[in-house]
Structure 1
Amino acid sequence: MCPEIVLHVEPGVVKDWSAFCRENPPHSIALDGYVHGPPAYDPNGPHANFDHHCGVNRLATRSTTGQVLVAILVGLLDKFSARGTTPTHVFVNDCDQDVCMAYWMLTHSDQVRNLRIEMELSQLILIEDLMDATAGAIPVDPDRSIIRKLTWAFELYDQARLSNALGQMNGDEMRCLIEETSARISRIALSQGQESELCGSYDVLGGGQGWQMIREYGQYARTKLFAKGVRAFVALQELPTGRYAYTVGRMSPFVRFPLDRIFSTLNGLEGSTADHEQWGGSDTIGGSPRRCGSRLTPREVEQAIEQIMCDRPEGPLSKTYDGPSGPSPEPHGSAGG
């Protein structure tokens, strides 16, 4: 019998690990950026954090989906459910693919830990793990049925993101999206899933040495960008508020595109000292503040980054590969967010 899972959706809320353990009830799990920090576990709560954005080596860290999968298999909910008598509280601040898949596994933990999931769903979990961990850099075949089913499973999130509705959604609206996406995953688990065409294209708006500034159309725009040999990018969206949402990324830590310097420089230009209004992320992807976006124009961002790229090379690979612990989780989920 699966334990009771209580989902708490709090858009824009970001806590550090100590505050989460202090303020959130016992038997609480944070997913994918709700806690600003690397994966953590405190048996005294118990409390747990599953995340791969901040203070981690991105390529060596599984996605939130991958972390939750392994944790369930090795007994996570035996500790958190207290033999089924105590609910497990799950806290999120977004509704992206990684959140939805991790939430589905927590609510269907008996199927997961007893490996009673169909091969098709097992493949979907693996692909989502790889896509999210690499920010969409893994090449995929758009004609494969499993890829088209993955696209259908996360279609609602993709539509919300591309329509600019995501940044305006409240907790109830995000909860509805998560539950509806979870229902689609359950249909795939029953071999009743549908298929949608893989959507991914982009316009080139600018850029510079080894990188492009783009506007994305669809979940797999970055996959196609990387396939064309572009290894670093800035993707932007205009927000209804007149501000911008930026995602800044590179294919891997081996690509010269110094995200820590870029985030630091853009924070200086942004001029805000509030934690929730900071640029930041991991060593391969990050961006502008998740909820409020950035006041910087595309031209200002382009000029700042190009100045950095023309300035001097990054330091040794070992320093870059450790990954920065930027001040905020990466913005807006993505096929690799």
Structure 2
Amino acid sequence: MSHRNARLTVFGRRLLVERVRSGRPVAHVAAEMGISRATAHKWVRRWRTEGDAGLHDRSSRPLTTPRRTPAGIEARVCDLRRTRKLGPARIGPVLGLPASTVHRILARHGLNRLAFLDRPTGQAIRRYERARPGELVHVDIKKLGNIPDGGGHKVMDRRTAMDNKLATTSRRKSCHPVIGYSFIHSAVDDHSRLAYSEVLPDERQHTAIAFWHRANAFFAAHGITVERVLTDNGSCYKSKQFTQALTTAGITHKKIRPYRPQTNGKVERFNRTLLDEWAYLRPYTSNDERTQALADFLHTYNHHRCHTALDGHPPISRVNNAAGQYT
């Protein structure tokens, strides 16, 4: 296989063959191209035997591996990994294998990282990605505690934080002030990972419907026509009104299987990013300050933040379709 320091690429090999076909000695051509005569003769010989197809790279994988671990033992290694979540250092002594051998077996079967496994079932996670923007949009809600005016206990001592709560709200429960919660409604496009979020006061059906109308307008403004929406089985999404709002716009509503949030994993992962890079990024002195910071985070996420699933590019790079990634 070619590497970054290889003297000859497929183009270079064709050039080598053309020079030899013109009647020049193989030794002279090899010296000009900085390769050995043996290498030059090898490529000329392959070309004469196989034609242009012989100039392409071949796999370096051996035809036989007589010392490879038997299939039965590899199956036992994989079974211990899936059922008991053991690592190479613990599987090795059980089966009498070196930890390095166990690691190679797990890597060969795609089980070398526990993140590749579904924890409840131990099965390898099947990752997927829709072919074009708008084909599927993931929608979910994240619940966050409100911040009293002046800041909570993360900013100052608990006594002062309690005074801030008393000054912020008149609601009480068992003589304690109730600040309440904010609900972050989010929609993430499956193909591009373009995201839209809002901080809203509840998660009722009418709130969810109004959010979706604004989210759909956001995607439409970026040239994305939504075809399907995937949600969990929350009460607001199970309502007939929410499904009717989607159907009226020509959108199919899909719900995940109960207790399987992995199916809605792209927006679940976005929720984790929301917490790490926005909600808990720094101590906020009020709920309004945290809410106002959301717009800057979303702009950074969509236009500037490198996304590992997009080869280090931001979501907007797939929306613009500069490289013709989708039809």
Report if TM-score (shorter chain) is over 0.5: no
Q: Which has the higher contact order (CA 8 A, sep 6+)?
A: 1
TM-score range relative to shorter protein:
under 0.3
Greater Rg by CA: 2
Higher strand fraction (1 or 2): 1
TM-score by length of 1: 0.20
Higher fraction of helix: 2
